[in-house]
Amino acid sequence: MMKIKMSVIICWLMLNSALAVDLKVGILAPDGTTWAKYLKKIIKAVDVATNGEVKIKVYYGGAQGDESDVLRKIRVGQLHGGIFTGKTLSEIYSDVRIMEVPFTFFDDHNKASQTLKKMTDYFNSGFEKNGFINLGFYELGKVYFISKKKASSIEGMKGMKIWLWEGDKLVSTLISNLGLVGVPLAMTDVLTSLQTGILEATYAPPMAILAVQWNTKVNYLINFPIAFSMGAFLIDKKAWNKVPAKYQAKVKEICFQFSDEVNKKTVEESKEALEAMKSTGMEFVEFSKDDIKKSNLIRAQVIKDLEGKVLSKKVIEIFSKNI
């Protein structure tokens, strides 16, 4: 009788394992980072909430390649999702980049967060139409210019050689309107290019600047946030449809809950990163009120240049009503 019971249990476990949906996800954030820690909480919570029927496997630290590699692997079915940012988000659903239009939020994080919440349903619909389900937005922090040479105004920045992530139309449009000289390079080449003089400036959120050590090759941070930078945790819709319908709402709820928590942590860590850079001797340069006026004009021109190319007329109109 005991042998029969054990056989039944083993068969049940094997059947349960066979029925489990495995979602394989690739991200650039290394294991041990805040994002990784919270993703592990998501993995555990989803496993418990679905009785082991939905399992998320995360490949950390670029183990599956950069964002473009992860997206390509999703397209061919090798992976099922990832956390995508900037340029890669444009390849999936470019309207979401309206949140990253420069000089929109300046230093007002609350305004950015509230606007994103208002736009979430619209963005989620857009992702789904393009074959993806959004499981949460992940804030990267405010983006700052950092440079080897001091620039005390927008006018003073003109002519600087700055990194350009090749193919990012939003950034290239901003660079053009600022009168900067964009130098297309892979992110991995930025550090040495700052050292050799190929680049004089670059841009990133504070935590990213420290993580890739760009702060060691520059002297100045322009304390005038360019943009609100974010990513999205996206799952291929075909893979998502394999998740039992009875669990889909709960999985989304869990993922969005933890993304809200990690975003609060990101705000704290961004402030700490700025303080860390200041403590090492980096000079923070303040811009004048005149530059704020100029930046508003630049923002308007960037939107005009991107309309119909990166941003639809519809998203521009909806965004202007929700900001």
**Residue for token pair 């992110």:** 187
Q: Per-residue confidence at 97, pLDDT binned at 50, 70, 90?
A: very high
Mark out the alpha helices in 231-288 (DSSP H runs): 237-240, 245-279
Summarize the confidence of residues 211-237 as an average pLDDT: 97
The total domain count for the chain is 1
Of 181, 97, 174, nearest to 137 (Cα)? 97
Mean pLDDT of the chain: 94
What domain range is 217 assigned to?
A: 2-322
CATH number of the domain enclosing 113: 3.40.190.170
pLDDT of the residue at 311 = 98
* pLDDT given for residue 167 in this prediction: 87
Would you give the DSSP letter of residue 110?
Answer: H
pLDDT value of residue 205: 97
Average pLDDT over residues 237-258: 98
What is the model's pLDDT at position 215?
Answer: 98
263-316 confidence digits (pLDDT tens): 999 999 999 999 999 999 999 999 999 999 999 999 999 999 999 999 999 999
Supply the pLDDT for residue 3. 56
CA neighbours closer than 13 Å in the CB half-sphere of residue 253 = 8
pTM: 0.91
